Structure 1
C-alpha cells in the first residue's frame, strides 16, 4: 500500500491547494496518470499518480490547503484493502498503553486540511495575492471550503478599503507575475541583433505531421544553440558570479493565453526532427490553452523563441526571460523582394531579432548564432 503525499511542485513551494480529484475512491489508477489538480502560488498543475493500483482512500477534500509532504491519499494493489487508521496523539504525561488506544472511525479517513496551529486556512494564491496587494489576511473573511481564504476574498477585501478611479483595473495574478519578471529582465544589460533570412518552404509528406515555418525556426534555433553553446547559457549571481553552460537545449516558446503569456518548454529540442518539433509544439500549445500543463512542461528552459508573425508583426524586440541569456523574436513570414543570382525576385523571408545578455556573450557570438540558424533555413545553392 502506497501513501500519497502533497508533492513539492517547485523549489519554493511550501503548500498547495487540492482543487480537484481526477479519480474517485475505488477507481483504478495507473502510474503517471493524472490523479488530481493542485494549485500552487504560480499555476494550476496536473499531479500524476506516483504509483499504480486502486485509490482506496482520499485524505483531503477538494479545496483543502496542505503543506508539502502531508498525506492526501492511499493507493493499494487490492481494491478492497483498508488503509491504516490514523493513530491519535498520546495524552500529555506519557504514552497511553496500547490497549487504551482507540482507532479513529473509518469515516475520519476523509478530512479537510487541519488548521495547523490555529492558523486561518489560506490558499497559496490568496497568500501571494495578499502580499502583492498589501492586504492583512487577519482581517479577511474566507468564503472557501472550511472558511478558507481565496484569492477572490483578498481582492474583495482590498476593494472594500481602497477607492479606485473609474478607469483603473485590478491586475491578474499572471499579469503581476509578468510585470515582476519583465522588471527583473529590464535590469539586465541587453543588446539586439537583427537579420532577415530567406526561407525554403516546409516539406510536408502526406503521412506525417504538418511542419510550419514556426516549427522550422524552432528546429533551426535548437540546432544553432547546440552548435553555439555560449548562447545556450545563463548568468549566475554569486561571489564571484559565474556563467552556466547548459548541456541540453530546452527550448521555450511563448504561447498567448487569455490573461497573458506562458512559456512551455520543448526538452532536448536539438535531438528532434522538424516533424517531432511540430508534434511536441502542438501538444504543449494545447495543454497550455487547456490548463493541462505538467510541472516539467514549464521548467528548465535554456532559451526562448517569441513569435508575433501570426499577428502580422514584421519585426520586434523581445525582452530576456531571466535567467536565460537569449531570446529570439520571430516576425511574419512574407514574400519580400530579394536579389538571387543578380535578379530581383520575390521570396519568403523572416526577420529575426536576437536579444542577448551582454554579460554572457558578445555581439560577434550572437552574429555567429544567427548565421547558424540561417545555414539551416536558407535554400542551398
Structure 2
C-alpha cells in the first residue's frame, strides 16, 4: 500500500480541508491523475498522484479538515508495505506503527479483539453509548457552540461526525430558535429588555482560522510601530489618466492607482533595503536582507483575506505590474492561486482607498518586516505658492517590526515613497 498524506501546499499551511475526491475506492490511478482538491489557508488546490495503482480506501471524507502529514487515503500498488494508521486512528502524523498483515491470523491463534467496556450494572456498554467518533476540530466546534455530539448522527465513514454535520446542526438550531445556544440562565448578566440575545454562530473555514491565528501571533509577538506620511498625488492622477488614454488606444489593460503605488514602493524598497527585510531568530537575532523585492498585495475575496505576491516588482514596468496584479486578483477570487503565487513575499501593501478609507494601520504579515496601509486619494484644501488650492492627497501608513526597523529608517522610506508619488515620472522612468 502507498500512503497518501495531507501535503503541505503553502508555507503557512498546518492543515487542509478536503473539498472533493476525484477518485473513489476501486478506481485505477495513474501518475499525474488528480486525486483530491484541498482547501488550504490561502486557496483551493489540486493534489496529484505520484505513483500508480488502485485507490484502496479513503480515510477522510469531503468536508473534513486534516493536519498535514496525516494519511488521508491509500493506493494499492500490488506490493506489500507496512500499513500506517492516521492521526485520527491514534498515531501522530509521521509516525509508523508496527507492520500489520492483511492475511488470516496464524493457526491456533484467535484474532485479537478489544473487550467492550463494562457498564455500571456489570454488563457491556453498547456501541451507541460509547464516545462519538469525531475529529478534534469537530469536538472543538461542538464545545464552542454547546452541541452534544451524542445527539448527532455522523455522515462520515463508520458514522464519523464531520464538520458538515456540525454546520447542519447549527443551521437547524438557528432556524428553530433564532440562536445556536440557549441563554445561560445562571449568568450574572441581566437579560436585555428585548429578551435573549439572538445570534448565529458561523464556524471559521480554513482561511479564516489561519488568518485569525497568524494575525494574533503577529500582533502579540511582533513589536509593531507605525508612521504616517501624506503625499500630494495630483500629478500622479494626471499621469495615470494620460497612460490609460494611451493604453486604451492600443487595447491594453489600464493601470490602477495601486499599480503605481506598488511600483513606487518597489523602487523605495530597493533604495532602503533595511525595510525589505525579515527578523530571524538565528544566533542572538539577525536581520535578513532580501535580494528580491517581492510585494504581496492584500486581496479581500469572498473566501477571506489572501496575499498573492508580485515577484521582482522593482524590475517590472507599471503596465506589467497591472497585468500581473489582475491575474492574481482573478485567481484569488476563484480560489485558484497556486503555492508559488503566494510565497516569497518580502513586503505587503494593503489598500483600502476604494472604500474611501482615509487612513488606517495594518498588521504585519510574518515573516515580513513591514506592511504599507494606503488610504484614499481625497481632495483637500492645501497651501500652494502662498495660495489655497484643492489638491488630491493620499495617506500612507507604514507598520514596521521595531526589532529590525527603527523609526528613522521608516521615516526615510516614507520620505522616498512620497517623493516618488509626488514626482511620478520617476516611477515610470
TM (normalized to structure 1)?
0.71
Structure 2: segments with no counterpart, 5+ residues: 81-100, 108-131, 174-178, 184-195
The answer as to whether partners of 2:29 and 2:55 remain within 8 angstroms in 1 is: no
The answer as to whether partners of 1:6 and 1:72 remain within 8 angstroms in 2 is: no
Residues 43-99 of structure 1: CA deviation (Å, up to 9, x unaligned) = 552126588x9x98656669367874859699xxxxxxxx944657466669xxxxx
Change (3 A) 1:339 1:16: closer
The equivalent of 2:128 in structure 1 is none
Change (3 A) 1:60 1:262: farther
Worse-matched range after superposition: 131-140 or 352-361:
131-140
Worse-matched range after superposition: 253-262 or 3-12:
3-12
Alignment of 1:68-147 (within 5 A): 68=69, 84-85=77-78, 87=80, 89=102, 122=135, 126=138, 129=141, 141-144=153-156, 147=159
The equivalent of 2:376 in structure 1 is 332
The answer as to whether partners of 1:251 and 1:267 remain within 8 angstroms in 2 is: yes
Q: Does 1:153 align with 2:151?
A: no
The answer as to whether partners of 1:330 and 1:350 remain within 8 angstroms in 2 is: yes
**Whole-angstrom distance in 2 between the partners of 1:134 and 1:264:** 37
TM (normalized to structure 2)?
0.64
User: Offset of 1:328 from its aligned partner?
Assistant: 0.9
Q: Does 1:373 align with 2:423?
A: no
The equivalent of 1:313 in structure 2 is 357
User: Offset of 1:210 from its aligned partner?
Assistant: 0.8
Change (3 A) 1:263 1:3: same
The answer as to whether partners of 2:23 and 2:55 remain within 8 angstroms in 1 is: no
User: Offset of 1:374 from its aligned partner?
Assistant: 2.4
Q: Does 1:47 align with 2:46?
A: yes
Alignment of 1:1-381 (within 5 A): 7-10=7-10, 16-21=16-21, 36-40=36-40, 42=41, 44-47=43-46, 49=48, 63=61, 68=69, 84-85=77-78, 87=80, 89=102, 122=135, 126=138, 129=141, 141-144=153-156, 147-154=159-166, 163-164=182-183, 166-173=197-204, 174-187=207-220, 188-199=222-233, 200=236, 201-202=239-240, 203-204=243-244, 205-206=247-248, 207=250, 208-237=252-281, 240-258=284-302, 260-379=304-423
**Whole-angstrom distance in 1 between the partners of 2:321 and 2:69:** 34
**Whole-angstrom distance in 2 between the partners of 1:377 and 1:214:** 11
User: Offset of 1:214 from its aligned partner?
Assistant: 0.9
Residues 128-152 of structure 1: CA deviation (Å, up to 9, x unaligned) = 7579779898997532355443223
Change (3 A) 1:170 1:219: same
Cα RMSD between the aligned structures? 4.3
Change (3 A) 1:380 1:13: closer
Worse-matched range after superposition: 125-134 or 199-208:
125-134
**Whole-angstrom distance in 2 between the partners of 1:317 and 1:212:** 22
Structure 1: segments with no counterpart, 5+ residues: 75-82, 95-118
The answer as to whether partners of 1:47 and 1:294 remain within 8 angstroms in 2 is: no
User: Offset of 1:177 from its aligned partner?
Assistant: 4.0
Q: Which structure has the greater CA radius of gyration?
A: 2
User: Offset of 1:232 from its aligned partner?
Assistant: 1.5
Count of residue correspondences: 343
Change (3 A) 1:221 1:36: farther
**Whole-angstrom distance in 2 between the partners of 1:128 and 1:267:** 39
Residues 133-184 of structure 1: CA deviation (Å, up to 9, x unaligned) = 7989899753235544322334667989953553444254255544433332
Change (3 A) 1:250 1:151: farther
Change (3 A) 1:353 1:8: closer
SS, match of residue 197 in structure 2: coil
Worse-matched range after superposition: 263-272 or 151-160:
151-160
The answer as to whether partners of 1:229 and 1:246 remain within 8 angstroms in 2 is: yes
